[in-house]
Structure 1
Amino acid sequence: MAHPRRALITVTSAHAPLYPDGKETGLFITEALHPFDVFKEAGFEVDLVSENGQYSPDWLSMQKDWLKDSERKVWEDHSSEFRSKLDNLLKPSDIESSKYGLFFASAGHASLIDYPDATGLQAIASKMYNDGAIISAVCHGGAIFPGIKGEDGKSIITGKRVTGFTTKGEEEEGVLDTIKSWKRPTIEASAGEAGATYVAPPGPWEAFTTTDGRIVTGANPASAEVTAKAAVEAFEKL
């Protein structure tokens, strides 16, 4: 059975103070924009969805070090396809899972807050996985995995090798205590709790992706593009 050449990128709907002076985390822009561009270039139709149809941008992701001028143009242009889809985010009730062959969880630290309880998004991904689609996530996007269930009722990453943002990276950013205050596990911890083997990147900020069957994961913001490309590669093998 040919899977639809259509990708669904999920976006966190949460936001919370994380950075100095109470600046907030939300969607890490390039973690959705880079995959969007990769999928479009590979001939996919692409839709964006969040658990409640809303999002806030992550403060750090809008800074010059993290958003190149060319990317900022796309982000600030409300008529660009990427921004207009962000401005008109879909909700899970708008999504028919059978129309998609690839699921990609974009991130930002805020994903740790809403993805574990995002039952709408999890149900879509569970259905897609059980129908044979590719399920991928980058950075903190893996927070959604424990709730994505295979036909055996276990998380789809049980027994799989996955990567995601390192606990060392959280320490380097000085945000580990904040995450603990949210009563949320780090990506490494939640992968372990779901029965997966966590594979660390060479360094917290180096581009790194790993594929295990139909599960494709990336480690950090620098990995969004390579992870999306690996997801397309996995899709081509279906």
Structure 2
Amino acid sequence: MKKILMVLTSVSEIGDTGEATGYNVAEAAHPWKVFKDSGHFVDFASIQGGQPPRDTVDTEDPIQVAFTEDETTRAGLYNTARVDVIDPSQYDAVYLVGGHGTMWDFPDSEGLQNIVANVYNTGGVVGAVCHGPAGLVNVELDNGFRLVEGRRVAAFTNDEEVAAEKDKIIPFFLADRLEEQGATHVPADNWAENVVVDERLVTGQNPASAAGVAKEMEKLLAEAIHQEKAEESDEADAVRAEKDAEKAAKKAAEAHPEH
């Protein structure tokens, strides 16, 4: 079992439009189910802490309903930890949930940047979907490179922003900003599922890509578990071989005692 941190926006309004927003429930619920079904432990955090705002719940989506009614999840979302106080070493993966609000509070959050960088630097998995990749902006690794530099990524596209009529409201186009920081943005058709994996960075284009991002993250986590078990087995074999050698040496000494 691995520990995964899901990070949510604390912004409840799209710019100064008065239009309510928050984290996208589908983009939280579907990955939550993938992680939960795989036996992993999921924690929640938000930029400001407390109870994060959320977008509308689709009551016809049983996974969203289950997510909002799960007692453990409700307790975790009731008072999320602030990203600034999170210890990244406690987590094997971090997943950045989308929602338009992330465009305002993810990019400049040093606490979030610290979590993402530390998880990746220590061999963990980083995932983000839709507007969640706004939290990858400005993340620098120990090697001095930006996390997205030289990497293929997916995120909400410029065309989707226009189709959603948010292109005149958002502070920047996410796809453009990622490319400005050295990434290669890989778009698909509007609203089509699109998941891109580049080493231990997994990104998705839109809500339809959320479950796919989680599934690819799960594959990487499963590989890590398999490797850890193999290493543990090798260590156990080495200890067993050492003990067998000691027993053999002792038996030989007993059979040929010195006079």
Question: Following TM superposition, by how much is the alpha carbon of 1:18 offset from its aligned partner in structure 2, in angstroms?
Answer: 6.7
What's the offset of the Cα at 1:73? Answer: 5.1
- The residue that corresponds to 2:98 in the other structure is 107
2:245 corresponds in structure 1 to none
Which runs of at least 4 in structure 1 moved beyond 6 Å after TM superposition? Answer: none
Q: Deviations over 1:87-128 (max 9, x none)?
A: 121122442211211110001011000000111111011111
- Aligned partners of 1:46 and 1:185: how far apart in 2? 31
Equivalent residue number for residue 30 of structure 1: 26
Query: 1:121-180: per-residue Cα shift (whole Å, max 9, x none)?
Result: 11011111111101110000000112221112221110000001111001011110011x
1:49 corresponds to 2:49? no
TM-score (norm 1): 0.87
Q: Determine the C-alpha separation between the residues in 2 that align with 1:209 and 1:154.
A: 23
What aligned pairs does 1:68-217 form with structure 2 within 5 A after superposition? Answer: 68-69=61-62, 71-72=64-65, 74-75=67-68, 77=69, 80-179=71-170, 184-201=171-188, 203-217=189-203
Residue type of the partner of 2:31?
P
Structure-2 residue corresponding to 1:225: 211
1:6 is matched with 3
CA distance in 2, matches of 1:31, 1:94: 24
User: In the TM superposition, what is the alpha-carbon distance from 1:70 to its structure 2 partner?
Assistant: 5.2
Aligned mates of 2:95, 2:14 — CA distance in 1: 25
Distance across 2 between alignment mates of 1:140 and 1:93: 20
Determine which structure has greater relative contact order: mean sequence separation of CA pairs < 8 Å that are 6+ residues apart, divided by chain length. Answer: 1
Q: Is the 8 A contact 2:35 2:214 kept in 1?
A: yes
AA aligned to 2:61 is K
Secondary structure, counterpart of 1:117 in structure 2: coil
2:250 maps to which residue?
Answer: none
**Aligned-partner SS, 1:237:** helix
**1:180-224 CA distances to partner (integer Å, 9 max, x unpaired)?**
xxxx222211111110000002x1211110100010001101111
How many angstroms apart in 2 are the aligned matches of 1:177 and 1:211?
A: 30
Q: In structure 1, list runs of 5 or more residues that go unmatched.
A: none
Q: CA RMSD in A?
A: 2.0
State the 1:71 CA deviation: 2.2
Q: What SS class does the counterpart of residue 175 from structure 1 fall into?
A: coil
Q: Residue 124 and residue 17 in structure 1: after superposition, are their counterparts in 2 closer, same or farther (change >3 A)?
A: closer
Structure 2 stretches lacking a partner, 5+ long? 225-259
The one-letter amino acid paired with 1:220 is N
Cα distance change, pair 62–130 in 1 and its aligned pair in 2 (3 A): same
TM-score (norm 2): 0.80
Distance 1:172 1:140 in 2: 15
Q: Secondary structure at the match of 1:191?
A: helix
Secondary structure of the structure 1 residue equivalent to 2:168: helix
> Given that residues 167 and 188 in structure 1 are in contact (C-alpha distance below 8 angstroms), is that contact kept between their aligned partners in structure 2?
yes
